[in-house]
Amino acid sequence: MPSPVSTARRFSFGPFEADSHSGELRKNGAKIRLQAQPFQLLAMLLERPGELVTREEICQKLWSADTFVDFDRSLGVAVNKIREVLRDSAADPRYIETLPRKGYRFIAEVVSVPEIAPAVAPTLPLDSERGVNEPNRKKATSPRLIWAAVSVLLIIIVVSGLVAWRLFRKHPIDSIAVLPLASLSTDPSQQFLAFGVTDELTTNLAQIRSVRVSSHTSSTACSSTQKSASQMARCLGVDALVEGSVVRSGDRVRLTVQLIDAASDRHLWAQTYDSQLTDIITTQREVTRAIAASISAILTPQEQARLSQRHPMNPEVADLYFKGSYYLSKLDLDRAKETFSEATRLDPKSAESWAGLADALHHRAANGGGSADFVQARDAANKALEIDPSQAEALMVLGILSFSDWKPAESEAFFRRSIEARPSFAMAHMLFAVTLAHYGRREEAIQQAKLASALDPVSVLTNSMAWHVYFCARQYDEALRIILGVMEVDPTFGPAYGRLARSYDQKGEYAKAIDTRVRGRIAEGESAEKANRDVAELRAALASGGARGYWQRTLEILLRDRKPDARGGFSPIARCYMRLGKREEALQTLEKAYQLRDSRLILWLPAYEEFDPLRSDARFQKILHGLGIS
């Protein structure tokens, strides 16, 4: 008998099995979802277990020069998705090891699973049988051959019908993503227009309650000319895609839009719109209504009225608004503030410009800005609402500002109004989740965080905030996994380092916490020499005194570096006191924070488990009550 034929197309590792031909990944026999590009990367690693697969090799095979997004971020997203389905960790990998600036290595044992193709030897009749039985064989087999042919024909007809039905039936479309509209202009400044039109169209669709809309950030990250519509839709978890182009000539704008059904890759609808730049917002509302009609989305009377309302805009203000939106998306907060401020100066009745200014100021305040930023953010948000009471971005800003002002009921009301106005507003869902988590409403917080992540699956900013939710819920391993995934996608994202260091502190991995703080300072532009020199005393304290030495030295550094007139930063000091068993000192520190209205007190008082022994104390209860936490 011939030997079995073996083909190495399947790979087994741990409880997983990957089929490189079908693109399927299974765990204990059950299929688990992994998008096409991350799977291709996983297959590359599995083909060379134990070897370094360089970034250059990955780029050459999986990315091309016409990819819309930068390679580093796309690669980080792909690796993060693989680790998520494998439940792997960048800090303590079981499967995929990162070699910084070089590439990746698959470190687990991989077994090639052979495909067995049994060879069947033909059975030949004996010469003596051939002559005797040939007439009877022909009589017996002829009807069987006829029925076999009929059966095969019927099967072909049925299968063809099923395929045709699947391809041409009307698919229910409940979710959608707007891919970055291409700018057909050779003028680089017109990229702001393409970005702004994409963002505004996404925002308009996100106001429709009956449709789930992927965020602009994630749609940009998942889009690529190298991917099919179905691949991009799987990356975003949506049923349909909107794509198109925009070109401007003087004050005339041509917008070409088409809707693609991801399941069949068919074009469901397409239209070209010519308008004046002054009517670009109105035109996008018209496009939104057309898309909603093409997917049979149900619009409420309020949604129909809003999308039917004309909204003329000064061309110069439109340029500034789109440019400000772009700067805000890049967290270029100074330029965003400056651009939105100029837009509101030219048109004080532009609600969206006031809302953008409020959002930029709120981000500045949250990232080390002064108290003036908080005040100005509130003023800008209120001005936006005077013009448009349903302005979702302004309502969101007031939600987070009310949280910082220790007004939980008011904060929740603003967030709910924001989400009511724009149900697919990922950032509003995530910030609402953060506030709920810090108030101790953990289950509701996790639910909101999951909604936000589904709407904005690959956003660094949105998903980094999910760390707060799981940290407050005392799910420290999940919080660590989330923040490591964020840093894999964007190692330059500064706020992630502080969150990662807190995670390591909470798990008692102090050496890693120190290293993380050093890396964070380097990422912010500090020299490696200075960053390491400044933590040398902390390393020495840990080496000589263990955990107690680490917390004692941390406390001394916090007190030493504190400015005499500082009105914040009390929670870390109180935390150190509790770690050192100094209960009274911790309470006094928290009482002082309360008296000075430390805005960050509300973040950490309910979150740190170090404060649990104080929760029955009347003095601590008084502070909680003042913060609005029952």
Within 10 angstroms of residue 392's Cβ, the number of other Cβ atoms is 23
Which H or E run contains 558?
A: helix 536-561
What's the one-letter identity of residue 195? F
Shortest CA distance to 401 belongs to which of 382, 387, 385?
382
Counting Cβ atoms within 10 Å, is residue 421 exposed (0-12), middle (13-18) or buried (19+)?
A: buried
pLDDT digits (tens, 9 = 90+) for 211-220: 999 998 888 8
Please give the pLDDT value at position 115.
63
Please give the pLDDT value at position 95.
93
Chain position carrying tokens 């063809």: 160
Question: What does CATH list as the number for 318-537?
Answer: 1.25.40.10
Please give the pLDDT value at position 451.
94
Evaluate if residue 391 carries a pLDDT over 50: yes
Region 43-64: what's the mean pLDDT?
85
Phi, psi dihedral angles at 99 (to 5 degrees): -110, 100
Q: Which two tokens stand for residue 202?
A: 């996404």
Please give the pLDDT value at position 63.
65
Region 130-153: what's the mean pLDDT?
55
Q: Can you name the CATH fold of 8-114?
A: Arc Repressor Mutant, subunit A (1.10.10)
pLDDT digits (tens, 9 = 90+) for 88-97: 888 778 899 9
Q: Which residues contact 589 (CB under 8 A, 6 or more apart)?
A: 570, 573, 574, 577
pLDDT digits (tens, 9 = 90+) for 165-198: 444 445 578 899 999 888 887 777 778 888 999 9
Shortest CA distance to 224 belongs to which of 73, 27, 2, 399?
73
Highest mean pLDDT among 70-79, 128-137, 595-604: 595-604
Q: Which two tokens stand for residue 624?
A: 């909680």
In this prediction, residue 121 has a pLDDT band, given cuts at 50, 70 and 90, of: very low
Q: Which two tokens stand for residue 312?
A: 């003329």
CATH 1.25.40.10 residue ranges for the chain: 318-537
In this prediction, residue 528 has a pLDDT band, given cuts at 50, 70 and 90, of: confident
Separation CA 258–CA 255 (nearest Å): 10
Separation CA 521–CA 52 (nearest Å): 29
Contact (Cβ atoms closer than 8 angstroms) between residue 32 and residue 26: yes
Q: Going along 148-297, which residue ranges are E strands?
A: 175-178, 182-183, 212-213, 240-249, 252-261, 266-276
Separation CA 47–CA 43 (nearest Å): 6
Question: What does CATH list as the number for 175-312?
Answer: 3.40.50.10070
pLDDT digits (tens, 9 = 90+) for 311-363: 888 989 999 999 999 999 888 999 999 999 999 999 999 999 999 999 999 99
**Maximum Cα interatomic distance, the chain, rounded to a whole number of Å:** 113
Q: Please count the CA atoms within 13 angstroms of the CA of 581 that sit on its side-chain side.
A: 3
Evaluate if residue 135 carries a pLDDT over 60: no
Evaluate if residue 132 carries a pLDDT over 50: no
Dihedral angle computed from the Cα positions of residues 576, 580, 585 and 588, in that order, rounded to the nearest 10 degrees: 40
